[in-house]
Amino acid sequence: MLKVRTSYPADVLKSREILAREAPEYLELFHKTFLYILHERSALTPKVKELIIIAVDAAQFYERGIRSHIKSALKAGATRDEIVEALLASSLAAGIHALSVSLPIFDEVIEQWEKERKVTRKKKTL
């Protein structure tokens, strides 16, 4: 059976384990496709790819994806304004409710990101 990454949240881990058991070829192809698009193709920067994924996740009201990809976008160098603009763009497709779901998540992730960066900066100055 295909080995499944164990760092997923419990519900995602369970679904990946079932997928590995029931359709291991699909899981492997999906994983390869994910890696290929995010890490091997280069027409778009990693930051732009993350912003697109944020907008799609917001339009689908996929809270875990919004949270995860905002973090990834920040790591890729996205600004608050760029992330907000991606969320605003999602509302063109999904309506204003996309913002009702995504903006509170944005606030939580940004707050945590800024706290972590403060701690990291403090440690560097010690």
- Clarify whether residues 66 and 96 are in a common domain: yes
Residues 22 and 55 in one domain: no
- Look at residue 1 in the predicted model and tell me its pLDDT: 56
Domain boundary at 10, 25, 41, which?
Answer: 41
Which percentage of the chain shows pLDDT scores above 70? 93
pLDDT value, residue 119: 82
Give the CATH number of the domain where residue 86 resides.
1.20.1290.10
Per the structure, the complete domain to which residue 67 belongs is given by 45-125
Domain count, the chain: 2
Q: Looking at the structure, do residues 64 and 119 belong to the same domain, yes or no?
A: yes
The 10s digit of each residue's pLDDT in 82-94 is: 999 999 999 999 9
* Cβ neighbours of residue 94 closer than 8 Å, sequence gap 6 or more: 58, 59, 60, 61
Cα–Cα dist 28/20, whole Å: 8
Would you say the pTM of this structure is higher than 0.75? Answer: yes
61, exposed or middle or buried, with CB in 10 Å at 0-12, 13-18, 19+?
A: middle
Same domain, 29 and 77: no
CA distance 88 to 99: 7
pLDDT digits (tens, 9 = 90+) for 31-61: 999 999 999 999 999 999 999 999 999 999 9
